[in-house]
Amino acid sequence: MDRYPFSAIVDRPVYDWPNKTRLAVYIALNVEAFEFGRNPGPDFTSLPSPPFHRGYAYRDYGNRVGIWRILRLCEDFKMPLAILANGKVYEACPEVLTPFRKRGDEFVGHGRTNSERQIDLSEAEERKMLTEVRQTMIRHEGKPPKGWLGPFISQSAKTPELLKELGWSYMLDWWYDDQPTWFRTDSGPILAVPYPSMELNDLPAYVNRKASDLDFAQMALDAFDEQLEESRFYPQVYSLSLHTFLTGQPHRIRQLRRVFEHIAAQRDRIWLTTPGAIADHVASLPDDVVPKP
Q: Which of 174, 183, 220 is nearest to 27 (CA)?
A: 220
Q: Assess whether pLDDT exceeds 90 at residue 203.
A: yes
Alpha carbon distance 49, 203 (integer Å): 20
Indicate the number of domains in the chain: 1
Q: Would you say residue 277 lies in a domain? A: yes
In sequence order, what are the residues at sequence separation of 6 or more whose Cβ sits closer than 8 angstroms to the Cβ of residue 236?
Answer: 22, 23, 24, 178, 179, 227, 230
- According to DSSP H, which parts of the chain are helical? 53-61, 67-76, 89-92, 98-103, 123-141, 159-166, 202-203, 213-230, 244-247, 250-264, 275-284
Report the amino acid identity of residue 45: T
**Are 136 and 195 spatial neighbours (Cβ–Cβ below 8 Å)?**
no
Determine which helix (DSSP H) or strand (DSSP E) holds 23, and give its type and residue range. Answer: strand 23-31
The count of other CB atoms within 10 Å of the CB of residue 1 is 3
Strands 190-192 and 181-183, sheet pairing: antiparallel
pLDDT tier at 46, thresholds 50, 70, 90: low
- The pLDDT tens digits of the residues spanning 234-263 come to 999 999 999 999 999 999 999 999 999 999
Q: Would you say residue 13 lies in a domain? A: no
The count of other CB atoms within 10 Å of the CB of residue 128 is 13
Q: What is the model's pLDDT at position 258?
A: 97
- The pLDDT tens digits of the residues spanning 76-111 come to 999 999 999 999 999 999 999 999 999 999 999 999
Q: What is the model's pLDDT at position 47?
A: 64
**CATH number of domain containing 189:** 3.20.20.370
- The pLDDT tens digits of the residues spanning 28-41 come to 999 999 888 887 77
Q: Would you say residue 289 lies in a domain? A: no
| Omega of the bond leading into 51 within 30 degrees of 0 (cis) | yes
Q: Would you say residue 95 lies in a domain? A: yes
Higher local confidence (pLDDT), 88 or 45: 88
Q: Would you say residue 76 lies in a domain? A: yes
Q: Would you say residue 166 lies in a domain? A: yes
Q: Would you say residue 78 lies in a domain? A: yes
For the chain, what percent of residues have pLDDT higher than 90?
89
What mean pLDDT is predicted for residues 187-215?
A: 95
Alpha carbon distance 111, 88 (integer Å): 9
Strands 23-31 and 271-272, sheet pairing: parallel
**Are 4 and 290 spatial neighbours (Cβ–Cβ below 8 Å)?**
no
The count of other CB atoms within 10 Å of the CB of residue 177 is 16
Q: What is the model's pLDDT at position 150?
A: 96
Q: Which of 204, 214, 278, 273 is nearest to 241 (CA)?
A: 204
Q: Would you say residue 1 lies in a domain? A: no
Alpha carbon distance 207, 192 (integer Å): 26
Strand partners, 27: 240
pLDDT tier at 49, thresholds 50, 70, 90: confident
In sequence order, what are the residues at sequence separation of 6 or more whose Cβ sits closer than 8 angstroms to the Cβ of residue 209?
Answer: none
Domain enclosing residue 95, as ranges: 19-39+46-282
Q: What is the model's pLDDT at position 37?
A: 83
- The pLDDT tens digits of the residues spanning 136-170 come to 999 999 999 999 999 999 999 999 999 999 999 99
Q: Assess whether pLDDT exceeds 80 at residue 45.
A: no
Q: What is the model's pLDDT at position 54?
A: 84
